[in-house]
Amino acid sequence: MELEIKNISVSLSNKEILKSINLVVKDGEFISLLGASGCGKSTLLKTIAGIIKQREGSILLGGKVLDKVPPYKRKTVIVFQDFRLFPHMTIAENISFPLKMLGVNKSEYRKRAIELLKKVKLEGYEDRHVDEISGGQKQRIALARALAADPVVLLLDEPFSSLDVNLRKDMRELVQDLQKELKITTILVTHDQEEALTMSDRIAFMHNGEIQQYDSPENIFKNPINTIVADYFAEGTYVSGHIKDKRFISDFFSINANKDNGSYKCLIRPSALKISKTRDSQFKVVAKVYQGDNYLIKIHNTDGNLKLESILVDPVDIEVGDKVSIELDKDKLIFIPE
Amino acid sequence: MNKKTPYILIMPIVLLGVLFIYGVINGIVQSFGYIPAFNLRDFTLDYYIEVIKSPAFLDSLKVTLHISLISSILAAVLGTILTAALVYTGHAEGKVLKVIKLAILIPHTIVALFSISILSQNGLLARLFYKIGLINVQSDFPLFLYTKNNLGIILGYLWKEVPFVAYFSLSLMSSINKTLGEAAENLGASRLKSFFHITLPLSMPAIGKAFLIILTFSFGAYDLPFLLGATVPKALPVQAHVEYIHPDLRHRPYAMAMNGLILLITWTMAGIYYLLSSRNRIKGDKHEGY
């Protein structure tokens, strides 16, 4: 079902947390709310679920206004970061809790709990207690319990952040598989840009209670609307200049750029810079940082007013102190209007 | 802070503890009939046997159990309702909490004075009812004090115990409601269902502990039954006091035997509570972290 957030503002303790948020999530779409801690993304999630009341604006689900619908009738179910499993219940009782609340009979809700346990790959765990399972298993149970509530919108509040790296990967795959299978409109709250880029159909980037950009992962990464968005995905070096007649001109270089005339900042990310060793150049390698799959090479020009970075997969012949020539990949340069 | 500071700081409580333990041990020794100062030198269970066999003791025990059980159960129920009301109306912190603390701070003797001036047949309510014509004479006002139903004592205990239960269980219930209660509502439980299925069961450890504290306290407390209770039968602690101040000092072991029995019964209550709560823990009921 399509979810529409119209002009939502939220204040908590007299502090404005969300400022006129507008967002449309299409039926069956998987979107991410991405941003740093404190940007308001979890507040937006709780506002959608009705746990936090908005100061102004409306939330529409399938065209129906949700504002006066109490949280327990919304079917906008959250999977919390801290799981929030009920400690006085078994795993099966936890999963079947939403069904029990609907008045489904015991044999039926237990059957459904066992089915859902199978979906989250925890068959045979139904009679265990919450304190007998690991963090990763708790997260799966929380997901199964949310699915038992038959959600119209599934809200995932940083569900993987408390898991270790390997578990996180498994859980991401599980969530993606289930979302594709069940076609539930899903919103993931995360501060992990890689998670947002790999899992989502679209990403809404939030900063200071506002959505800065709402776009596909590829677009938001390649065409960030401002330096805040650009820096969150991958930092680099900004060079100021202007574009005239489809050419970017700066103090350091000029290059073709398919943009309108005006002042711009050109962002040179490490991936946009190719380097090769040479005898005579104004650029010198000042640091070489091992990063596992590759090396980050830091370069300064002789005047010291241009500091660039490049990534090299095979850095065999380049060492600190070497002079290097640089080549800019114009397709990977990002021009942000000033 | 040098190494000795923590030991110096802990001295007052250690001294109080030593005095308390000395008093208890001395009382128990005296209950076995050993008070050399009164020329009682034989250890014997006779005082216990005599006390247990006396009909007055059984009557006193019944009265004490009646007062403590009814007041504690009512306080636990009303205190839980008060806690839930505070949590669900968003008053788990702030001014309301100060009012609750104030009610707890008022000593029982003052509560007894309040009760007398409000509930007696010469009290405020009796005068008010007479004034507005609800009763013909002040003596028509129902007896709350000095009666065998012990209503005055129970009301006096409720004055302090209801806020005590609320204060004791408020932070646990509030935090459960904010986390697991919120999750339950999000999963389709109405506020009422969320309270009865999640918040209340998980708050039971705090409510249970508060109940045990007020039960054992009201079982062993002397002041309210002494000030507001019937002449006979007397509550057990009052009966023990009567024996204690008996002009014949050789009655002292009877008083101490009664105290010993009060101690035994309260320990039994605590033991039963421990067994019940540990049985819950075995079932996986480990939720006090919330």
Judging contacts by C-beta atoms under 8 Å, the chain A residues touching residue B175 are none
Given a cut of 80, is residue B290 above it in pLDDT? no
Sorted by sequence, the CB contacts under 8 Å of residue A234 that are 6+ apart come out as: A221, A269, A270, A271
A80 lies within 8 A of chain B by CB: yes
Give how far A78 is from chain B: nearest CA, Å: 7
Dump pLDDT digits (tens) for B160-207.
Answer: 999 999 999 999 999 999 999 999 999 999 999 999 999 999 999 999
Interface of A with B in 124-143 (CB under 8 A): 129-132
Chain A's closest residue to B191, CA to CA, is A72
Judging contacts by C-beta atoms under 8 Å, the chain A residues touching residue B191 are 72
Read off the tokens for B171. Answer: 């932070």
pLDDT in tens, chain A (338 residues): 899 999 999 999 889 999 999 999 999 999 999 999 889 999 999 999 999 999 999 999 998 999 999 999 999 999 998 999 999 999 999 999 999 999 999 999 999 999 999 988 889 999 999 989 988 899 999 999 999 999 999 999 998 887 888 888 888 888 988 898 889 999 999 999 999 999 999 999 999 999 999 999 999 999 999 999 998 988 889 999 999 988 998 888 888 888 889 999 999 999 899 888 888 888 899 999 988 888 999 999 888 788 999 988 876 688 888 888 888 888 888 999 88
Fold type of domain B53-282: MetI-like fold (1.10.3720)
Task: Report the range of poorest mean pLDDT among B43-47, B98-102, B204-208.
Answer: B98-102
A92 lies within 8 A of chain B by CB: no
Give how far B188 is from chain A: nearest CA, Å: 4
**Predicted local confidence at residue B38, as pLDDT:** 86
Read off the tokens for B124. Answer: 């405020």
**Predicted local confidence at residue B284, as pLDDT:** 43
Give the Cα separation of A151 and A48 in Å (integer): 13
Judging contacts by C-beta atoms under 8 Å, the chain A residues touching residue B183 are 78, 80, 84, 86
Name the 3-class secondary structure at A13: coil
Burial bucket for residue B104 (CB in 10 Å: 0-12, 13-18, 19+): middle
B206 lies within 8 A of chain A by CB: no
Summarize the confidence of residues B127-141 as an average pLDDT.
90
A102 lies within 8 A of chain B by CB: yes
Sorted by sequence, the CB contacts under 8 Å of residue B148 that are 6+ apart come out as: B230, B233
**Predicted local confidence at residue A315, as pLDDT:** 62
B284 or A13, higher pLDDT: A13
**Predicted local confidence at residue A167, as pLDDT:** 82
Chain B's closest residue to A132, CA to CA, is B284
Read off the tokens for B266. Answer: 């309260």
Interface of B with A in 166-195 (CB under 8 A): 179-180, 182-191, 193-194
Q: What are the residues facing A25 on neighbouring strands? A: A3
Chain-wide mean pLDDT for chain B? 90
What ipTM is given for this predicted complex? 0.84
Dump pLDDT digits (tens) for B210-237.
Answer: 999 999 999 999 999 999 988 888 899 9
Extended beta strands in B118-184, E state: none
A36 lies within 8 A of chain B by CB: no
Give the Cα separation of B276 and B93 in Å (integer): 31
**Predicted local confidence at residue B97, as pLDDT:** 85
Given a cut of 80, is residue B89 above it in pLDDT? yes
Give how far A256 is from chain B: nearest CA, Å: 53
**Predicted local confidence at residue B110, as pLDDT:** 93
**Predicted local confidence at residue B286, as pLDDT:** 45
Cβ <8 Å between B284 and A51: no
Could you say which of B189, B286, B287 has the minimum Cβ distance to residue A101?
A: B189
Band (B288; pLDDT cuts 50, 70, 90): very low
Cβ <8 Å between A88 and B287: yes
Interface of B with A in 46-105 (CB under 8 A): none
Cβ <8 Å between B188 and A72: yes
> Any idea what DSSP says for residue A37?
T
The pTM assigned to this predicted structure is 0.83
A146 lies within 8 A of chain B by CB: yes
Sorted by sequence, the CB contacts under 8 Å of residue A73 that are 6+ apart come out as: B188
Cβ <8 Å between B185 and A84: no
Q: What is B5-58 written as a DSSP string?
A: HHHHHHHHHHHHHHHHHHHHHHHHHHHTT-BGGGTB----SHHHHHHHH-HHHH
**Predicted local confidence at residue B281, as pLDDT:** 60
Cβ <8 Å between B187 and A149: yes
A101 lies within 8 A of chain B by CB: yes
Given a cut of 50, is residue B32 above it in pLDDT? yes
The helix (H) or strand (E) run that includes residue A285 is strand A283-290
